[in-house]
Amino acid sequence: MAKRGVVTDYAGNELYPGDLVAYAARQGNRVRQADAVVLEVTAKRATVAGVGAVLVPVLRVQPTGIESGFTKRRTITPQWITAEHVRLIQRGYGNQ
């Protein structure tokens, strides 16, 4: 995180609701790249053994259905993901 109160992708770009992002999504035993629109940006408290309580940046995203792989996604429901492996594609995509 670049500064207090701001969630960023792994390159340091700030993430806000309406942004188009790419993230790693699991399907069975495989991992694929998926595009999604950010619905909500927040942080949740998690307990890590040996460290204690930490804040983990999380995003509520709406998948667009565009993703790598040849097997179609089963559902397009909003999901909670961590911001650890997220990359900003286009700012303000969902606000158009």
Between 18 and 72, the higher pLDDT residue? 18
Q: Categorize the per-residue pLDDT at 4 as very low, low, confident or very high, splitting at 50, 70 and 90.
A: low
For residue 27, is it within any domain? yes
For residue 12, is it within any domain? no
CB distance 61 to 73 below 8 Å: no
Q: What is the mean pLDDT of residues 17-30?
A: 91
Which range marks the domain in which residue 57 is found? Answer: 20-95
For the entire predicted model, the pTM comes to 0.86
CB distance 62 to 51 below 8 Å: no
For residue 11, is it within any domain? no
User: pLDDT of 50-74, one tens digit each?
Assistant: 999 999 999 999 999 898 887 777 7
* Domains: count for the chain: 1
For residue 51, is it within any domain? yes
Distances in Å between the Cα of 9 and the Cα atoms of 12, 74, 76, 88, 92 are 5, 26, 22, 7, 15
For residue 1, is it within any domain? no
For residue 7, is it within any domain? no
Burial of 36 (0-12, 13-18, 19+ CB in 10 A): buried
For residue 63, is it within any domain? yes
For residue 5, is it within any domain? no
Residue found by looking up tokens 């900003």 in the block: 88
Distance CA 45, CA 74 (A): 30
> Which of 94, 91, 67, 96 is CA-nearest to residue 13?
91
